[in-house]
Structure 1
């Protein structure tokens, strides 16, 4: 019997699509146990409020729709002011694109909504941040509105009917903005670098979704990693950790190399892969593309400044940028420790020795370090305080970098959880916000060493006042202070999950709330020395801050004995509990109080260890 002849039009089946810059590590299908663990993960995320209900989603959608209506109305008004022809004005349109967590479909309770306002070529950025800002400010639904223009991507932040929204702006090379506008590479032509950065927020989000083999698994894993990062206090691009887009790229890369894995396996592989990653080898979702637009792109082979980045996580769209450029040696060290800790927990979960809730427990920051810098910003209530805190918080990473330069400082760890409230010893209406930085010293064999913190603290406060003056943010009553405190001097109040405030002096480590498992060893990756920009020359103008009882006792004389940790002043992750209390030794501390022409108060600049 003769074989049937194949049709000449028949073609071999297309090979399966490959994702990423390399082939998969494993294409194994999930087992029954792994599927069960995924179901357990979903239930745990639900109990931790990692999902948003349909009613809240609709509220957010309505807020964006109303803002888009206001934006279109404003564009029409601007066209009339500029005497734009009527036929252009009638079709000017306008569009708001959501991006980030909202567009990825992984937003959780309390998340901001990131939105991009796109206008035609003749709309100036300055008009958006002045004229449209004023239009928004008078809306009754808008509260706590302010502009932040001193960043790489200028933004309007506000609360719209109780929903926190960040608005970006970009103009594109066309006269009208239709509802079906495609933000393709062609629209980047003739756009400013600032507009391109704003456009890439949405474009990167879209490309990430196209870069993963299973979108639903990607979303579930990203929800879990985001919750873990927030609980472990390492979710903040502004403060030198990682922001939402960096976490999304890291998770997407794991999904690429394990295309068939279920969510529970992907979470474990996330910690396993990145616990072994050799930074600064970059994370990339696709090969870089060049569209010959002469735009600056991240490339450590060509750009010397890019070689100084300690944790490159590269966007998948042109022009490629490092989303983790704010990461410092200290924040990378903290990140690495947390990854090791997460690996130990997820390994136990895979072996049914722990449940998912343990992965999301909070660290004990106050018991981890023995030495701290207390940063305190205060001002009059209301809008002034929002602007002042926004400026200070956006530059705290500069203080961390200043501290890292100190010869004896091994790590400066900023806690993203700040505390706010009224100041008891200041004026009745004054508002106060504080941040805490844990210090780890590298003393070597030295038993006693004189450490002078005057320069990094002075340099930071000088920079803040100089920026406030140049940006015309400074108002009478705004103060900033930075001071050293030992652990037993500290009285730090932090909110727990129920919202009740807990004092560091009353808070004790409880073994009943900690897991007993061996933690992974702390990594000590090799990093290139980060290039530092020279300190700007600024005036010595400063403002004396109000002293508060919650800052603990102040010592005015030398020779104060305090309790500190062993040699390094930090408790490493233990084999029996995640963050144990440190054993103590006696350290001699010498406090020096100084006053300056504009009366900033920096105490304990010099001390002995």
Structure 2
């Protein structure tokens, strides 16, 4: 709560900030770039980015009527600035901070490992100024940047002159599709988790999520692989079987014979045997398949999958 209060003080117009955050969060969820557990940005990270834009581009509040008369054109301009600024931001070498340069900076010797962890450094405005983007890796950072650039490309190809144009553009941004798996990936690791009831399955999925960050970091740091993580769990329609996938730029044969990857994958799978509350009915299996075969499987008339 304290951290959110800091943001509300900083944003000048809390209702407009909330509106912008809702828009950006909906976009990020829809295109598959939301979720700290999957290596993307958390809701708090997106809130910091929105707060930065509101503070930078909104004038200080003069009266409540200025909020009431905030127009579609003004909101569109705010959204456009959001994607333009963060598509061009040098995420590989710079940290995004809400506090000004004159603010008492933390020296390098005082910076914790939490501050330095992550490929996108989005510094919390509250002590101890941890990195809210610490879950990101290079692969997911690049996907997020490409997501920003994709919106700019859309805005460059459509009319945004009239109020109606701008309203339509905002709608089209929210209609952009989730491109998992994208055209650069060639293979996919699919995990299948099952149990005899939905409560056990949710518990089983929770354990997987708690182990996932370490595995995707190993894929990049130890195996030097470029990956794309799915940002949702898919359920079979009976809710007793769940699927989670990670896409890779290597072809299946190369990935299967990648020694470091095989080691990291086995370490990850071993974690499921260590779950203290595991019951015999809680099962997990995995397979590595080509993107082509994965798409063919999804076209087969099997029980419907539900994404969550």
**Interval of TM-score (by shorter of Structure 1 and Structure 2):** 0.7 to 0.9
**2:5 alignment counterpart:** 206
Q: Deviations over 1:55-80 (max 9, x none)?
A: xxxxxxxxxxxxxxxxxxxxxxxxxx
Determine the C-alpha separation between the residues in 1 that align with 2:136 and 2:216: 10
**1:72 alignment counterpart:** none
Point out the structure with the larger helix share: 2
Q: CA offset at residue 204 of structure 1?
A: 0.8
Q: CA offset at residue 450 of structure 1?
A: 5.4
Determine the C-alpha separation between the residues in 2 that align with 1:259 and 1:440: 41
Contact 2:41 2:136 in 1 (8 A): yes
SS of 1:438's equivalent in the other structure is: strand
Q: CA offset at residue 377 of structure 1?
A: 1.5
**2:206 alignment counterpart:** 390
SS of 1:380's equivalent in the other structure is: coil
SS of 1:262's equivalent in the other structure is: helix
Count of aligned pairs: 278
**1:325 alignment counterpart:** 134
TM-score, with normalisation over the residues of structure 2?
0.79
**1:359 alignment counterpart:** 173
Greater C-alpha radius of gyration:
1
Determine the C-alpha separation between the residues in 1 that align with 2:160 and 2:74: 13
Contact 2:31 2:179 in 1 (8 A): no
Q: CA offset at residue 301 of structure 1?
A: 5.0
5+ residue gaps, structure 2: 60-72
Q: Deviations over 1:316-344 (max 9, x none)?
A: 12232211111111111111110110122
Q: Deviations over 1:268-297 (max 9, x none)?
A: 01111111111242222125978xxxxxx9
Q: Deviations over 1:480-502 (max 9, x none)?
A: 23321112221588xxxxxxxxx
Q: 1:367 to 1:274 in 2, by over 3 A?
A: closer
Q: 1:300 to 1:237 in 2, by over 3 A?
A: farther
SS of 2:122's equivalent in the other structure is: coil
SS of 1:350's equivalent in the other structure is: coil
**1:375 alignment counterpart:** 191
Q: 1:364 to 1:289 in 2, by over 3 A?
A: closer
Q: 1:381 to 1:367 in 2, by over 3 A?
A: same
Q: 1:258 to 1:301 in 2, by over 3 A?
A: farther
SS of 1:395's equivalent in the other structure is: helix
Contact 1:372 1:438 in 2 (8 A): yes
Is 1:421 aligned with 2:230? no
Matches within 5 A, 1:162-311: 202-260=1-59, 262-279=74-91, 280-287=93-100, 300=108, 302-303=110-111, 305=113, 306-311=115-120
Determine the C-alpha separation between the residues in 1 that align with 2:142 and 2:35: 15
Determine the C-alpha separation between the residues in 2 that align with 1:208 and 1:395: 31
Q: Deviations over 1:364-415 (max 9, x none)?
A: 3245332111012122213222211111123222221222235462x21111
Point out the structure with the larger strand share: 1
Q: Deviations over 1:205-256 (max 9, x none)?
A: 1111110122232222112111111111111012111111111110110111
**2:215 alignment counterpart:** 399
Cα RMSD for the two superposed structures? 3.2
